[in-house]
């Protein structure tokens, strides 16, 4: 049996600011990933799966570089 929960939270002003920043960053990453996928499909003629795998490789590499530099 699957349970379903509904809840609501009321963030403080600081939490609202942090959530807005987080979702802004997520939007940027999503848009960058989408652009890479579209470019892979149009330029290289890659399938959607290949484009998705390539995008994942790029972003994993990006995170490793950021962690090596101590940036978070």
68: number of Cβ within 10 Å:
8
Position with higher pLDDT, 14 vs 52 = 14
71 in any annotated domain: yes
- Taking all residues of the chain, what is their mean pLDDT, rounded to a whole number? 78
pLDDT at 71 over 60: no
Does residue 35 contact residue 51 with C-beta atoms inside 8 Å?
A: no
- Domain range enclosing 65: 47-72
Domain count, the chain: 1
60 in any annotated domain: yes
24 in any annotated domain: no
Rounded to whole angstroms, the Cα distance separating 46 from 52 reads 10
Q: What's the predicted TM-score (pTM) here?
A: 0.56
59 in any annotated domain: yes
Confidence band, pLDDT 50/70/90 cuts, at residue 19: very high
């Amino acid at each position: 049996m699957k349970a379903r929960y509904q809840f609501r939270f009321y963030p403080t002003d600081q939490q609202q600011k942090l959530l807005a920043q987080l979702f802004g960053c997520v939007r940027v990453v999503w848009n960058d990933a989408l652009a890479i996928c579209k470019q892979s499909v149009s330029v290289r003629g890659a399938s959607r799966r290949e484009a998705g795998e390539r995008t994942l490789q790029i972003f994993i590499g990006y995170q490793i570089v950021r962690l090596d530099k101590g940036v978070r």
